[in-house]
Structure 1
Amino acid sequence: MRCLLLPGMDGTGALLSDFAAALAPQFRPEVVAYPRDAAWGYDPLTDYVRARLPRDQPFVLLGESFSGPIAIRIAASRPDGLRGLVLCASFARAPSPPGWRLPASWLGRIGAVLPIGRLPTRLTAAAMLGAWASEEWLTRTREVLATLDPAAIRARMHAGSTAEETAALARVACPLLYLRGRRDRLVSRHSWEHIRAILPLANYVELDGPHFLLQAKAVEAADAIKRAFAI
């Protein structure tokens, strides 16, 4: 069965190679990389992904972090062949970090003024990987950050900080698996609790990992997906 992987905020999918390898051979992973220089929000990105859905083949759709709302929108339309939806460290409604007390929309405002192209790699890696920020992951993260267009990242930060896909989530009919890192510093547990309130039958797996769960816990996350969908 195919597994369509929608990457997080970076949009490249370059940090998903270990996870994709762990899915094989039971799944045939395919990363949908977003245009690097397109400052798109969720509407054009959803159209972009929809045009790349498998035709006449069963597949599982995975939305990592920022891409969760896109995956939810597509699953809500119930495309032919969709067998399951996976949301990893993601959300249906604009998320907040643990302990954040301001409206989620403030994160988009902060993103609008951040010097995105000049942020230290160690600072970004600390937020995304925490204790799993090894030298290897620092190098890989630095290489990806160097390719990003700040305007595209700001557009994605704004989209994520204003996301509201509760109505679409309620129309999702396929099985849903939510993967969460116990030490996620960016998306609090409230995002999962909101999803569970809308879809009480959703499956939940928590791993001892950071926001970059598919990177730090690639094998464990892949195994959870295989178990959820009996592969």
Structure 2
Amino acid sequence: MKLLLMPGMDGTGELFTPLLSHLHNDIEAVVFRYPFDPRMGYPELLTFVKQQLPEDEPYVVLGESFSGPLAIQLAATSPAGLCGVILCASFLTSPVRWVPRWAASRVSSWWFSHPFRTPLAIMFLANGAEADSRHWIRTVLDQVPADILAARLRAVLRVDVRPELQNVSVPIHYLQATQDRLVPASCLSIIQKLMPKVTFSQIAGPHLLLQTQPAEAARLICAKSLSWQGTPTNLQTHAD
């Protein structure tokens, strides 16, 4: 079974490293890495992702945080081979409910300039990471240009994929971080209200679950992915 990993706001895919070492041997991970192009919002990234989907084989998509709406948009198009979607600490609409959508235009690159990178990393981690992990995450964030992070935050503040969720026919599983300071529990409630059949698991940890709790996250991801294993009805090939 292939597992397509769609990264958080950094877009580098490098933050999946801890998770990869814990995945089951029957899972073949494919990590997406988004271009550093501030013009690429969710519509452009959807086109980018669709161009790289596996051909003639089943797969599961995991959307981490920023990429959750992208995973839903992809699933809504019913691509051949898709067996299910896993959302990790993600959302359908902006998780910052007190900020109106029009305020997205006020987001500036200087918010993500280097003096602010350390506080940003701490906010992502909450209180669940060791010093080595904090240093590594800051190093990854330092690779991402400030204008890219600002553009992706603007996209998050404007996004609303609730209509697309209605067109998703594959199963969805949600991984919820119990100490998440960025994505509140209400984000899962919104999903469940629109699609009651969505299943979920809770993991004790901060927003970056896949980085701070990789073993437990991998166990749940592998179990759910393998339970969905099989040839989808829209895949026109024979199973091995």
Normalising to structure 2: TM-score of the pair? 0.89
Contact conserved, 1:39 with 1:151, CA < 8 A, in 2?
A: no
Aligned partners of 2:188 and 2:67: how far apart in 1? 15
Select 1:169's aligned residue among 145, 148, 165: 165
Task: Give the stretch that moved more between structures: 133-142 or 200-209.
Answer: 133-142
Paired residue type of 1:163: V
CA deviations over 1:187-223 (Å, ceiling 9, x no partner)? 1111100111111011111110110011111111111
Select 2:145's aligned residue among 119, 143, 149: 149
Q: Tell me how far 1:226 sits from its aligned partner.
A: 2.2
Paired residue type of 1:190: S
SS at match of 1:15: helix
> Partner of 2:85 in structure 1?
85
Aligned partners of 1:110 and 1:183: how far apart in 2? 28
Contact conserved, 1:84 with 1:175, CA < 8 A, in 2?
A: yes
Aligned partners of 1:46 and 1:23: how far apart in 2? 26
Q: Tell me how far 1:224 sits from its aligned partner.
A: 1.0
CA deviations over 1:57-97 (Å, ceiling 9, x no partner)? 1100010000111100000111111011000010111112x
Aligned partners of 1:143 and 1:229: how far apart in 2? 31
CA deviations over 1:155-205 (Å, ceiling 9, x no partner)? 111110011100101111111000010000001111100111111011111
Aligned partners of 1:105 and 1:216: how far apart in 2? 31
Unaligned runs of 5+ in 2: 228-240
Work out whether 1:221 is the aligned partner of 2:217.
yes
CA separation of 1:162 and 1:142: change in aligned 2, threshold 3 A: same
Select 1:139's aligned residue among 130, 135, 140: 135
Select 1:103's aligned residue among 99, 102, 116: 99
Contact conserved, 1:111 with 1:158, CA < 8 A, in 2?
A: yes
Aligned partners of 1:218 and 1:39: how far apart in 2? 32
Question: Greater Rg, structure 1 or structure 2?
Answer: 2
Aligned partners of 2:102 and 2:209: how far apart in 1? 25
Identity among equivalent pairs (%): 34
Work out whether 1:115 is the aligned partner of 2:115.
no
